Amino acid sequence: MAIKDTAEEWEVRSTDTPFVGNKTSVRTDDVVMPGGSVVHRDYQVHPGSVAVLALDDTGRVLVIRQYRHPVRQKLWEIPAGLLDVPGENPLHAAQRELYEEAHVKAEDWRVLTDVYTTPGGCDEAVRIFLARDLSEADGRRFEVEDEEADMELARVPVEELVRGVLAGDLHNNCLVVGVLSLVAALNGDGLDALRPAEAPWPARPFEP
């Protein structure tokens, strides 16, 4: 048996959306179980996200530190953001986030990994890109606001981030998954063997 996730959809008898927010909503589905019973399943409906592990020529990763109110912590993260438009090309969204949050551009883009953040309670899908050949972006810096106005930026060696992840000092899922995936790729077939930046993404289909 191949160890691979597969698409499947169980029967939904009814559905309701009791809450609609600015970016996400909450949905309640009545789902038919294999034994025939019908159960309620509440989950957050999410547009999807992209994240960027930007790796410079000296082996450092560009990270940002940002306040996250739900967990009441300032977390070290990699640049990330929502897919603002349905069907938006995730590469374009990732390039936008890297520019807006770090004023950086990259010449080499690849797909590092695709994940569902919390599939038991949210349908958010995240594509994490690897960006290399970094340089300062052209033009004026993007005007940030709210939590982003308090962001800090740093470049941290990969080895230091790995130590922080394994020590329980770093918790942002995109940073954790991205850094450990990077190390796995480096120890495997190499970064040039990663999927191209425009690789299909069934979780959030897009036009190239």
Q: Cite the active site residues.
A: 148
> For the stretch 81-99, what's the b/e string if a residue is b when 16 or more beta carbons lie within 10 angstroms of its beta carbon?
bbbeeeebbbbebbbbbbb
- DSSP secondary structure letter of residue 119: T
Q: Residue 169: beta bridge partners?
A: none
DSSP 3-state of 17: strand
Residue 44: exposure state from Cβ atoms within 10 A (0-12, 13-18, ≥19): middle
Q: What is the distance between the alpha carbons of residues 175 and 79, in angstroms, rounded to a whole number?
A: 9
DSSP 3-state of 52: strand
- The token duo for 162 is 């790995």
Number of C-beta neighbours around residue 159 at 10 A = 11
